Amino acid sequence: MRKLFLFLSNCFIIFWSQAQLSPQTAQDSAWVRDNYTKQEFYIPMRDGVKLFTSVYVPKDATEKHPILMTRTPYSCAPYGAGNYAPRLWISHFRHYARERYIFVTQDVRGRWMSEGEFVDVRPFNPNKQGKDIDEASDTYDAIDWLVKNLPGNNGHVGVMGISYPGFYSTMAALSAHPALKAVSPQAPVTDWFMGDDFHHNGALFLMDGFSFYAGGFGYPRPKPTTVGPQTALTLPRNDNYETYLRVGALKNFMKLTGDSLQFWKDLYAHPNLDDWWKARNPRNFVGDIKPAMLTVGGLFDAEDCFGAWRLYEAIEKKNPSTAFNKLVMGPWFHGQWSSLDGTKLGNVRFGDNTSHWYQNNIELPFFNYFLKGKGDISKLAEATVFFSGANEWKQLPQWPPAGKTDKALYLQPDGRLGWDKPAGKNSFSEYISDPAKPVPYTEDVHFGRTREYMTDDQRFAARRTDVLTFQTDVLAEDLTLGGTLVADLLTSISGTDADFVVKLIDVFPDNFTYPGAAQAVGRNGGGDYPMGGYQMLVRGEVMRGRFRNSFEKPEAFKPNKVERVKYELPDVAHTFQKGHRVMIQIQSSWFPLVDRNPQQFVNIYEANDSDFKKATIRIFHDGANSSSILLPVLGK
């Protein structure tokens, strides 16, 4: 979700936490000041631009210390040598402080207090010469300066970052500085067209993109500043569904933002997967990785779930025998692994505090080993993945798991799902998709996009006539999935374009309750949420139909002709337990999460309000046209 707001909310959490400090935590604050000295520097880059850098150096001189660095567009506040960052004593960074790491945070080029021009997801330049720069060269120059100018460092550097700083971590790995020994891209921004943040399979994630750029991040910063960006937009803050629907077509959103949001304009100017987008995809450049890599992500990360899975995959494929490349995926929302609580998301519970377990058993040992030569990580698995449903960690020698079998689960007449291919003729289910009444992405009324929608109850959607619902019989045994889902739909539409949203859902037994849960007596009547019959979203993804054959060259549908729409959903790691059901829902809008498709083959970024038309969507399930979902089944 809006990464600027993530930064601001983190600031709020920090200040709230300070107000709640226990005597022991307060002592930790004093301990950091007693044991660390804060310094601020302007580090020169090869083209003369200087980047503002905040450094916390241990006062301990009995040994040399490693450097742990984060490069960010979200500010290395608090500014001023006397102002210390509370994360060093209220977050898991306190463990690194006890290990006497040197902490470095840098405002990237053109953001906050750094000089230069900011460019969103600045492309990597593999052929730099002389004073040519990119984010990799800025990282190289910063590391080079730090190891040469910070007294008491041991010459070993690690880089980590979550979300957009995860992108800068990937760029750091491409810098090839010999002092850089370990990098952890966490929920890394990786591909803003195919699956992260602002597009999924070419469909614009409207609410995230608009709120992020128009909410402040996208406005130009003419000179270095410690003051955060402001927005002049005043939209109602009561119901985002109604608000975004009233604004209407995407061209109306452009009118609201004006001419000053460069990357927002770039999104409109590049509706298809072209060279402009490809240059901004780090996966195209990870063929010679030197530092040890630890890619971390959340199974239920609403922003960059795609990036974590696919960056690890790209590094693995392009460095098959040379890179130390490990993957960790837990049951987390965006950045939850760095929080103090990893026990639940929304109404769904995961048992133990998975965040603490990860911090103590994987992240800190990873950096300690490569930066301090401390400990043993020989038992760190290639892939450490939490399987929701069963609520258990699996240590796997590869991802996807070696025992995976892709099995087609076929859509059947009468809303059924089964492993057998249907045998009938001209069998289909249909619905009318009306852009004037799009399917909401969540039941609740709110303004900001929620993170909990990734596990939300889908019963509200199952009640709609423009959502198709298919489900299995009650499972007689556990069904465990691990790997990439593939939706394979045979469809016809009455228009010339449409979106397809496929959702994989775990239907809980009617009598299900969590241990110790209070009896639910309604939303306003107290108790816990009624989990009996809960329809847990395990994975959902949209496909813009025009890209069904090519993301580079979109094609119109021929009205009422049966065509195949086949696409990947991000990986899953989930067990449907005995007594549960597997459900698939299919719809053609997911609003205002995803922008509305006019359901005509027009440039959606230039479409008028009058271009939006109803369409009849048919999903076929017969012998000749057998729609299915390809499931990565383990142990079958």
The whole-number average pLDDT for the span 338-367 is 95
Would you give the DSSP letter of residue 99? T
Nearest to 47 by CA among 167, 137, 119: 137
Q: Identify the pLDDT of residue 522.
A: 59
Task: Verify that 552 and 438 share a domain, yes or no.
Answer: yes
For the segment 74-113, what is each residue's pLDDT rounded down to a tens digit? 999 999 999 999 999 999 899 999 999 999 999 999 999 9
Compute the distance between CA of residue 29 and CA of residue 90 in angstroms, rounded to an integer: 8
345 falls in which pLDDT band (50, 70, 90)?
very high
Q: Identify the pLDDT of residue 636.
A: 62
How many angstroms separate the Cα of 100 from the Cα of each of 54, 67, 292?
A: 16, 9, 21
Q: Identify the pLDDT of residue 321.
A: 82
Q: For the chain, what's the residue count?
A: 636
Local structure of 591: helix, strand or coil: strand
Compute the distance between CA of residue 160 and CA of residue 170 in angstroms, rounded to an integer: 9
Asked if residue 521 belongs to a domain, the reply is yes
Task: Verify that 295 and 425 share a domain, yes or no.
Answer: no
Asked if residue 127 belongs to a domain, the reply is yes
Q: Report whether the peptide linkage leading into residue 78 is cis, meaning its omega lies within 30 degrees of zero.
A: yes
Q: Identify the pLDDT of residue 523.
A: 58
Tokens 């899975």 correspond to what residue? 309
Mean pLDDT of the chain: 93
Compute the distance between CA of residue 604 and CA of residue 357 in angstroms, rounded to an integer: 45
Task: Verify that 325 and 445 share a domain, yes or no.
Answer: no
Asked if residue 330 belongs to a domain, the reply is yes
Q: Report whether the peptide linkage leading into residue 592 is cis, meaning its omega lies within 30 degrees of zero.
A: yes
Compute the distance between CA of residue 569 and CA of residue 493 in angstroms, rounded to an integer: 22
- Cβ proximity of 479 and 579 under 8 Å: no
Q: For residue 4, is pLDDT > 80?
A: no
Domain boundary among 369, 396, 423: 396
Q: For residue 541, is pLDDT > 70?
A: yes
Compute the distance between CA of residue 591 and CA of residue 244 in angstroms, rounded to an integer: 9
The whole-number average pLDDT for the span 557-574 is 98
The whole-number average pLDDT for the span 415-439 is 97
Q: Which domain holds residue 511?
A: 404-634
Task: Verify that 149 and 171 share a domain, yes or no.
Answer: yes
Q: Identify the pLDDT of residue 20.
A: 36
Average the pLDDT over each of 58-72, 222-236, 362-376 and give the range with the smallest value.
Answer: 222-236
8 falls in which pLDDT band (50, 70, 90)?
very low
Asked if residue 238 belongs to a domain, the reply is no
For the segment 47-85, what is each residue's pLDDT rounded down to a tens digit? 999 999 999 999 999 999 999 999 999 999 999 999 999
Instruction: Give strand pairing partners of 184.
Output: 160
Nearest to 37 by CA among 59, 66, 70: 59
Would you give the DSSP letter of residue 443? S
Asked if residue 621 belongs to a domain, the reply is yes
Task: Verify that 307 and 453 share a domain, yes or no.
Answer: no
Domain boundary among 348, 380, 396: 396
Identify the residue with better confidence: 517 or 325: 325
Local structure of 383: helix, strand or coil: strand
Average the pLDDT over each of 30-44, 227-241, 249-263, 614-628 and give the range with the smallest value.
Answer: 227-241
Task: Verify that 570 and 468 share a domain, yes or no.
Answer: yes
Kindly report the CA angle at 350 between 344 and 355, in degrees rounded to 5? 70
Domains in the chain, number: 2
How many angstroms separate the Cα of 276 from the Cα of each of 163, 265, 279, 280, 368?
A: 21, 13, 6, 7, 39
Q: For residue 375, is pLDDT > 60?
A: yes
Task: Verify that 369 and 467 share a domain, yes or no.
Answer: no
Provide, rounded to the nearest whole percent, the portion of the chain with pLDDT above 70: 94
Tokens 């790209």 correspond to what residue? 314
Tokens 């310094």 correspond to what residue? 39
The whole-number average pLDDT for the span 346-359 is 95
How many angstroms separate the Cα of 240 from the Cα of each of 4, 247, 302, 442, 592?
A: 18, 11, 17, 11, 7
Task: Verify that 482 and 524 share a domain, yes or no.
Answer: yes
Compute the distance between CA of residue 43 and CA of residue 140 in angstroms, rounded to an integer: 11
Compute the distance between CA of residue 98 and CA of residue 181 in angstroms, rounded to an integer: 21
Q: For residue 28, is pLDDT > 60?
A: yes
205 contacts: CB under 8 Å, gap ≥ 6: 197, 198, 199, 593, 594, 595
Asked if residue 269 belongs to a domain, the reply is no
511: exposed, middle or buried (Cβ count in 10 Å: 0-12, 13-18, 19+): exposed
Strand 65-72 relative to strand 102-107: parallel, antiparallel, unpaired? parallel
Q: For residue 236, is pLDDT > 90?
A: no
Task: Verify that 369 and 420 share a domain, yes or no.
Answer: no
Q: Identify the pLDDT of residue 231.
A: 79
Nearest to 160 by CA among 171, 145, 150, 149: 171
Q: For residue 635, is pLDDT > 70?
A: yes
Q: For residue 22, is pLDDT > 50?
A: no
For the segment 264-273, what is each residue's pLDDT rounded down to a tens digit? 999 999 999 9
Q: Identify the pLDDT of residue 524.
A: 59
How many angstroms separate the Cα of 101 from the Cα of each of 81, 92, 93, 501?
A: 18, 13, 10, 46
Asked if residue 490 belongs to a domain, the reply is yes
SS3 readout for 472-518:
CCCCCCCEEEEEEEEEEEEEEECCCCCEEEEEEEEECCCCCCCCCCC
Task: Verify that 455 and 376 share a domain, yes or no.
Answer: no
Report the chain's terminal Cα–Cα distance, integer Å.
Answer: 37
Q: For residue 301, is pLDDT > 90?
A: yes
257 contacts: CB under 8 Å, gap ≥ 6: 210, 213, 214, 218, 233, 264
Query: Residue 536 belongs to a domain with what CATH number?
Result: 2.60.120.260
Instruction: Give strand pairing partners of 329.
Output: 297, 385
Task: Verify that 433 and 478 share a domain, yes or no.
Answer: yes
Taken in order 595, 598, 603, 605, the sign of the CA dihedral is: negative
Kindly report the CA angle at 285 between 282 and 286, in degrees rounded to 5? 90
The type of residue at 557 is F
Tokens representing residue 304 in the block: 């960059």
The whole-number average pLDDT for the span 374-384 is 95
526 falls in which pLDDT band (50, 70, 90)?
low
Compute the distance between CA of residue 263 and CA of residue 275 in angstroms, rounded to an integer: 16
Domain boundary among 354, 373, 396: 396
Q: Identify the pLDDT of residue 323.
A: 80
Q: Identify the pLDDT of residue 521.
A: 63
Asked if residue 250 belongs to a domain, the reply is no
Query: Residue 387 belongs to a domain with what CATH number?
Result: 3.40.50.1820
How many angstroms separate the Cα of 116 from the Cα of each of 51, 321, 601?
A: 8, 39, 41
Task: Verify that 564 and 512 share a domain, yes or no.
Answer: yes
Q: Identify the pLDDT of residue 24.
A: 41
| Count of Cβ atoms closer than 10 Å to residue 19 Cβ | 7
- Cβ proximity of 123 and 132 under 8 Å: no
Q: Identify the pLDDT of residue 14.
A: 34
The type of residue at 288 is D
Query: Phi-psi bin for 335: left (phi > 0), alpha (psi -120 to 50), beta?
Result: left
